[in-house]
Amino acid sequence: DVKVTQSSRYLVKRTGEKVFLECVQDMDHENMFWYRQDPGLGLRLIYFSYDVKMKEKGDIPEGYSVSREKKERFSLILESASTNQTSMYLCASTTAGGYYEQYFGPGTRLTVT
């Protein structure tokens, strides 16, 4: 069964902290994505990666960075968390040719206080 897992369902951090969100997929997918989801704004792409050590900026990369050292793992890093980064963060993966069918993780609800 296809599976994308995220390190935490809920996370509370303080302003200025460095935050790591981890995503692991077990489907040998080439492509991985990080989105944030806010009410009324839908899914907004932060970063994506189509290969190990490769990364591309999405629509809202400011304040975030990513790391992909292994094919199955894609990490999202908030260098210095701010309250406007309080959100639901969703990771997804897909095969190289299957961009239209993405598999999502359960999400991490991050609160920055």
Partner 1 sequence: GQSLEQPSEVTAVEGAIVQINCTYQTSGFYGLSWYQQHDGGAPTFLSYNGLDGLEETGRFSSFLSRSDSYGYLLLQELQMKDSASYFCAVKRDSGNTPLVFGKGTRLSVIA
Among 21, 81, 90, 110, binds partner 1 (CB under 8 A): 90
* Residue pair 85/94 in contact by the 8 Å Cβ criterion: no
CB of 22 within 8 A of CB of 37?
no
Alpha carbon distance 75, 35 (integer Å)? 12
Which of positions 5-64 make contact with partner 1 (CB under 8 A)? 31, 33, 40-45, 48, 50, 56, 58
Of 50 and 63, the one with the shorter C-beta distance to partner 1 is: 50
Per CB under 8 A, 102 contacts partner 1:
yes
The total of other beta-carbon atoms located within 10 Å of residue 107's CB is: 18
The residues binding partner 1 (CB under 8 A) are: 4, 31, 33, 40-45, 48, 50, 56, 58, 90, 92, 96, 99-107
